[in-house]
Amino acid sequence: MTTTPTVPATPAEALRGLCAGRVHLPGDPGYDAARTPWNLAVDQRPAAVAIPHSAEEVAEVVRAAVAAGLRVAPQSTGHGAGPLGEVALDDVVIVRLSELTGVTVDPGARTARVVGGTLWHDVVAAAAPHGLTAMHGSAGDVAVAGYALSGGLSFYGRTHGVAANSIRSVEVVTADGSLVRASASEQPELFWALRGGGGNLGVVVALEIDLLPYADVYAGMLLWPRDRAPEVVRAWAAWTDGVPESVTTSLRVMSFPPLPELPPFLSGRQLVVVDGAVLEGDERAAELLAPLRALEPEMDTFARIPATGLVAVHMDPPGPVPAVSDHAVLASLPEEAISAYLAEIGPGTTTSLMFAELRHLGGALGRPVPDGGAISHVDGAYALYCVAPAPSPEVAALGRADAVAMCAALEPWTTGGRLVTFTDGAVDISTGFGENWDRLRRARADVDPTRVFVANHGV
Ligand SMILES: Cc1cc2nc3c(=O)[nH]c(=O)nc-3n(C[C@H](O)[C@H](O)[C@H](O)COP(=O)(O)OP(=O)(O)OC[C@H]3O[C@@H](n4cnc5c(N)ncnc54)[C@H](O)[C@@H]3O)c2cc1C
């Protein structure tokens, strides 16, 4: 006689039937699809995944989870899921916001109300008909919430600061299941904490953000073969030292596998790429880019483009991929640091990294904002972000080792700080908040004393 193994009843059974049945427990047919984050290398195994369609459904899930002795992890896309694959989640309900989306633009006020799990490309598309855009990052399929509530580095950054500063108000379901609005005048301490502390304080069901007055932008990329990296990296480092705050760019030494779905200029190639935006008129932008163009790139796409095109300039993957990464914030990029960088990824080296990126910081990104939140600026001159593909645990281990090695090689020039959005593993995140860390911990203890919420980076 054969017996069918039965999955034992768990506390998460109490959530069944909520969200009109969109609650998936281990063993359910929809569980694996629901628990899979954007970063496919992350194997997160929660007690349940709930997929709400309204703020009321979010509140019901939070109340039921707390009553059942469970914790709650808000997640929009899972771009930042890395740390949740490294910790036990058997008492955690993931609240996936991917089906709770929508954007309403107020062109007069130059703001948008963005529902909890909305992606940046939907905000950019909704703002564009009004000649407006938003403080998105390099990828349009990142969610507004996880990015902006954790700081958010944009190609508009050196002019307009971190994206967290563009948040006007937040609607959040807190640990007791109530829906609270936080702004400069309502629950100001919670508002301060959310702008950096994000998913540690509740499930955000809507945000009101400032939009930017750009219908088009001078943006693009310059691309050379990797053997030009030594001169290009040195030229870009010297150039970034002198450019005005209207210029925000990134440099990456990159390796692409030979894949038929990639365009020929990328497939199987090793490259050095500079990309970003210059918030100037065409003539002034061309004048500013001249020293890089003098290096005769193989490809030069810098031109005036509709602002909607800026989410495609960085060529981030169009959909979910498995990846691992490490990062550091650099105080400077002198010749010794450039040599150390090139020794890890320059011509003649072998590495499993897909890219090692240097993003130019400074300008408005470096200035604290008086009415800002727990993250309102970044101390440092460049962000180093190293990413490797991770199709299997073995390849992931190799990639992580190479990412860690690159960060270690540049350690003498690091600030010791962190960018919360670029932090991958379950690490001490306190240096991402500097002197605001203790205040943030107190704010979290006030609003979530029993630590119901599980963010990717715990406060
Ligand atoms: C391809 C790629 C490109 C990127 N480009 C940039 C970039 O240009 N600039 C930059 O700064 N970062 C960038 N990032 C990092 C990205 O901003 C972070 O991973 C960010 O946390 C992703 O937000 P998410 O909501 O999409 O991801 P999620 O993994 O869903 O969320 C990350 C965390 O945010 C919190 N959170 C998410 N949604 C909610 C919510 N509704 N309520 C409460 N908390 C919530 C949770 O704590 C969650 O663990 C990039 C990442 C990738 C993979």
Q: In angstroms, what is the C-alpha Rg of the chain?
A: 22
Give the H or E element holding residue 400. Answer: helix 393-409
Distance between CA 167 and CA 148 in Å, rounded?
8
Residue-level pLDDT at 151: 97
Distance between CA 288 and CA 278 in Å, rounded?
8
* Structure-block tokens of residue 148: 């902006």
Q: At residue 4, does pLDDT exceed 90?
A: no
User: Lowest-confidence range among 26-35, 131-140, 235-244, 256-265?
Assistant: 256-265
Please tell me if the CB atom of residue 152 comes closer than 6 angstroms to any atom of ligand 1.
yes
Give the residue, out of 35, 114, 142, 452, with the most ligand 1 atoms within 8 A of its beta carbon, to mutate for a pocket test: 142
- CA–centroid distance, 372 to ligand 1, in Å, is 19
Distance between CA 329 and CA 337 in Å, rounded?
13
Per-residue pLDDT band at 126 (split at 50, 70, 90): very high
Q: What is the pTM of this model?
A: 0.96
Residue-level pLDDT at 271: 97
Nearest-CA residue for atom 46 of ligand 1: 199
Give the H or E element holding residue 441. Answer: helix 437-447
Per-residue pLDDT band at 8 (split at 50, 70, 90): low
**Ligand 1: nearest atom to the Cα of 172:** 42
> Residue 384 forms beta bridges with which residues?
328, 358
Give the residue, out of 75, 87, 365, 452, with the most ligand 1 atoms within 8 A of its beta carbon, to mutate for a pocket test: 75
Please tell me if the CB atom of residue 80 comes closer than 6 angstroms to any atom of ligand 1.
yes
Tens of pLDDT, residues 81-112 = 999 999 999 999 999 999 999 999 999 999 99
Burial zone of 173 (CB within 10 Å; 0-12 exposed, 13-18 middle, 19+ buried)? buried
Over range 70-91, report the average pLDDT: 97
Distance between CA 372 and CA 119 in Å, rounded?
23
Distance between CA 103 and CA 121 in Å, rounded?
11
Tens of pLDDT, residues 272-330 = 999 999 999 999 999 999 999 999 999 999 999 999 999 999 999 999 999 999 999 99
Phi, psi dihedrals of residue 73, rounded to the nearest 5°: -115, 110
Distance between CA 184 and CA 204 in Å, rounded?
16
* Structural domains of the chain ordered from first start: 19-96 (3.30.43.10), 103-213 (3.30.465.10), 216-426 (3.40.462.20)
27 torsion bin: left (phi>0), alpha (psi -120 to 50), beta (else):
left
Q: At residue 413, does pLDDT exceed 70?
A: yes
Q: Angle between the 282-293 and 229-242 helix axes, to the nearest 10 degrees?
A: 140
Render the burial of 384-422: b for 16+ CB within 10 Å, e for the rest.
Answer: bbbbbbbeeeebbebbbebbeebbebbeebbbebbbbbb
